[in-house]
Structure 1
Amino acid sequence: MRTLAALALAASAAGLLGGCAEAVVGGAVAGAAVVHDRRTPGTVIDDQLIELRWLHEYYNDQELKKQTHISATSVNGVVLLTGEAPTEALRARAEAIARRLPKVRRVHNEIRIAAPSSFSQRSSDALITAKVKTALFKVKVKGFDPTRVNVTTSNGTVYLQGLVTRAEADAVVEQVRRVKGVQRVVKVFEYIG
């Protein structure tokens, strides 16, 4: 019943954000994912709202929208910014957007100073992400659920987010390092237990 209520709240909030289709789809995914998540249903919704609000601000800033390729991923109020910006000023502007959003506790700015990545690089990153998510099912730590780890890949660097134990984090990193195409692994985990 709580999951249904959380899903309804997410869908309602989506309507307030200018009709973003991603919000409705994200709300449905959140409802299903909350069963396995260590975050509370409210925190899952807060994270989705952080991402949607950041995206809204990003697309309303014409200079950022046209000159950069940046993604924001929030887990437990910790925002990870990845992608490329041609100048430090644009990189800082994207970070400033994240820092002023409600419920953001911390921002990890991993935006590279570079021209926006090519379609082929983004496709390669998407393939690496898929391989990493599959590899997480090989982690053999009691109680570990691979759906609790958020995976973001940018220019061959894999960023890992989630609420995990140190043993889970170590096992995850060991598996991820073995995936073909992974150049670097960055832990953005929050540790529990």
Structure 2
Amino acid sequence: MKHTFSRRTLASLLLVTALVPMLSGCPVVVGAGVVLGASSADDRRTTATQLEDQGIELKAENRIGEKFSGSNVHINVVSFNRQALVTGEVPDAKTKQDIERIVKTVPNVRTVFNEMVVGPTSSLGSRSNDGFITSKVKARLLDSGKVNSNHVKVFTEDGVVFLMGLVKRQEEADSVEVARTTSGVKRVVTIFEHMD
């Protein structure tokens, strides 16, 4: 059964959509000029790990861009607790393997989850829809009151929702239920590490 939005959920979604850009603009200074977002204080990862994750994403995407510049690939790299999720579309299996190898060579990467598909690159409309699905899942997590949305990273590719984080088993179950019952979601993939 798919979830229909209540007024409260819709209000939460609109609020999250409106506030996220503003919140990311309110940095918290952490030592020697390094800046992190305000939500980092509530993150279960250490500050160092959060910075490593940002570095992994940037380095991986830069290295992929250098090697496959102008080619027909669309790749996203999302890192949480040094676990790199690679999604997107590539023209063939060799490119898929090459990109996975590139990500594995990035310093501090513990594990690579290769969720790329062989096929044409996604359209701008599809990517916009994925962003909207991600926003809906985040708003519903916030609205549920069962899971701290800062403990779960949500990413969507072609209607498939990926959930990453350091969570308790009940938080995983609650997160999956929220994502699974959100309209537009085709499938849910979990990449969680358990705290219990």
1:123 aligns with 2:128: yes
Q: How far is 1:94 from its partner?
A: 1.1
Instruction: Please state how far the C-alpha of 1:145 moved relative to its aligned partner.
Output: 1.1
Matches within 5 A, 1:27-66: 27-29=35-37, 32-62=38-68, 65-66=70-71
Residue number in structure 2 paired with 1:169:
172
Aligned pair in 2 of structure 1 residues 145, 95: CA closer, same or farther (>3 Å)? same
Change (3 A) 1:180 1:7: farther
- Equivalent residue in structure 2 for 1:75, among 70, 74, 80: 80
Residues 1:168 and 1:6: Cα distance change in structure 2 (over 3 Å): farther
| Structure 2 unaligned regions, length at least 5 | 1-27
Cα separation, 1, equivalents of 2:40 and 2:33: 13
How many pairs were matched up?
169
Following the alignment from structure 1 to structure 2, what is the Cα–Cα distance between the partners of residues 156 and 110? 13
| One-letter code aligned to 1:129 | T
Partner of 1:185: 188
| Secondary structure class of the residue paired with 2:150 | helix
Q: Given that residues 140 and 171 in structure 1 are in contact (C-alpha distance below 8 angstroms), is that contact kept between their aligned partners in structure 2?
A: no
Letter in 2 for 1:55: E
SS in 1 for 2:177: helix
| Gap runs ≥5 in structure 1 | 10-26
More strand by share: 2
What is the DSSP-based 3-state SS (H/G/I as helix, E as strand, rest coil) of the residue aligned with 1:147? coil
Equivalent residues of 1:69, 1:85 under 8 A apart: yes
Cα deviation for residue 6 of structure 1 reads 5.1
Whether the 8 Å CA contact 2:29–2:36 is kept in 1: the answer is no
Cα distance in 2 for partners of 1:62, 1:94 equals 9
Q: Find the aligned partners of 2:88 and 2:94 in 1 and give their Cα distance.
A: 14
Q: Which has the higher contact order (CA 8 A, sep 6+)?
A: 2
Answer whether contact 2:30 2:36 (CA < 8 A) is retained.
no
Tell me which residue corresponds to 2:98. 93
Q: Deviations over 1:60-109 (max 9, x none)?
A: 1135x521001000000100001111101111111111101111000000
Counterparts of 1:72 and 1:6 in 2: how far apart (Å)? 27
Q: Between the two proteins, what is the percent identity of the paired residues?
A: 36
Q: CA offsets per residue over residues 41-61 of structure 1, 9 Å max, x none?
A: 000000000111111101111
Q: Which amino acid aligns with 1:60?
A: E
Give the aligned partner of residue 161 of structure 2. Answer: 158
Query: TM-score of the superposition, structure 1-length normalised?
Result: 0.83
